Amino acid sequence: MHKYITFIFTFIILVFHSCQNNKTIQDQKLSTTFKNPILPSGNNPQAIFHEGKYYYTHETNDMILLWETNDLTNMSKAICKEVWRPKNNNEKHNLWAPEIHYINNKWYIYYAADDGNTDNHQIFVLENESKSPMEGQFKQKGPIITNKEWNWGIHASTFIHNNIQYLIWSGWPQRRVMEETQCIYIARMKNPWTLNSERVMISKPELSWERQWINPDGSRTAYPIYVNEAPTFLKSQKGDKLFIFYSASGCWTPFYCIGMLSSNANSNLLQASSWTKKTEPVFYLSENDSVWGPGSPSFFQSPDGSETYMLYHARKVPNGTTGSSELRSPRIQKIEWDNNGNPILGKPIKLNTPIKKPNR
């Protein structure tokens, strides 16, 4: 009997340790991968990596939230802080597409807002002098006057090339009447909140895949809206080419997708002829994987700097409605590079597919 009890006890111990070892192996395996979406909802997501931390933000409509984390693929453990809630009526409504940037040892957040009428959207800039954007206060630097005739603009982003700061955004050639046309503009900057040149249109929605505004079920906006928006900058691995990726067609449709402009790095970026548009989208819906309307890209590096990832949003249902942010969720996937060092975005990855985490 004693030998039998000893055998049973030993067997239980071995089973327990085996289960524990299997759990450890499973935990280690899980810790090296992640699954999209990284949050249940959030449109127009953007993030940067700075001194070992990721700073992430997305659209929340009436305020700006900022998340801090050392693992962008595990947002459930990120620290979240409300960093801005406007009080002035002209910027109190419809806060769209915030982006955070670190420029000249200061933090800046670019966003668009209006007075309650979306036709009055302007681009605003916040500044924070603290070492961490989660500390101190963001202060309003005022709207960016993008054109003298009519200051309508959304989805501002910025980059520095050859020691010159540029602003890129989506704007109207003229005030909307019977239809709306959103174009991509670029301008040189005097400082992070002031332009130092006239705006230059470098892309307009002219191709069929840039002009979709009616859903497959027939639902649509009240008038035609042709879209180029959400521009973001990326440089080739060799540094000899510059790219601006942008979103095209209505974000409420499954046809929302990503287009690409390219320029030689030594070109005059304020000449429209310096930019060449790829005639087909470079990232678009995957019907078989139930990925609809992928767009609003931004790019970030892995912690060790060896990999480049794209952050974007998409829907899991084909038809949406304007303003339905809960239908769009933020997602991450690695991009590749061709033999010339130019980016390849690939195709959207199906939700809940294990993806290798960025290299640390």
Under 8 Å CB-to-CB from 155, ≥6 apart: which residues? Answer: 44, 96, 97, 112, 169, 170, 229, 230, 231, 296
Tokens, residue 20: 């524990």
* Cα 306 to the center of its chain, rounded Å: 20
- Spatial separation of the C-alpha atoms in residues 155 and 91, rounded to whole Å: 15
Segments of the chain scoring below 50 in pLDDT: 1-29, 325
For 341-360, write each residue's pLDDT tens digit.
999 999 999 999 999 999 99
pLDDT of residue 156: 98
Predicted local distance difference test score (pLDDT) of residue 327: 82
Instruction: Please state, in angstroms and rounded to a whole number, the distance separating the CA atoms of residues 241 and 264.
Output: 5
In the β-sheet with 228-235, what is the strand arrangement from edge to edge?
228-235, 241-248, 257-264, 276-277
- Report CA torsion sign: 325, 326, 328, 333: positive
C-alpha dist (Å) from residue 169 to 144, 165, 200: 11, 14, 10
Residue spans of the domains in the chain: they are 32-356
Tokens representing 245 are 């990726």
Nearest Cα to Cα of residue 104 among 83, 126, 133, 129: 129
CATH architecture of the domain 32-356 equals 5 Propeller (2.115)
What's the pLDDT at 326?
A: 54
283 DSSP assignment: B
Contact 197, 174 (CB under 8 A): no
φ, ψ dihedrals at 213, nearest 5°: -135, 0
pTM of the model as a whole: 0.90
Task: List, for residues 237-294, the tens digit of each pLDDT value.
Answer: 999 999 999 999 999 999 999 999 999 999 999 999 999 999 999 999 999 999 999 9
Determine the 3-state secondary structure of 154 from DSSP. strand
Largest CA distance in the chain: 96
Write down the pLDDT at residue 18: 42
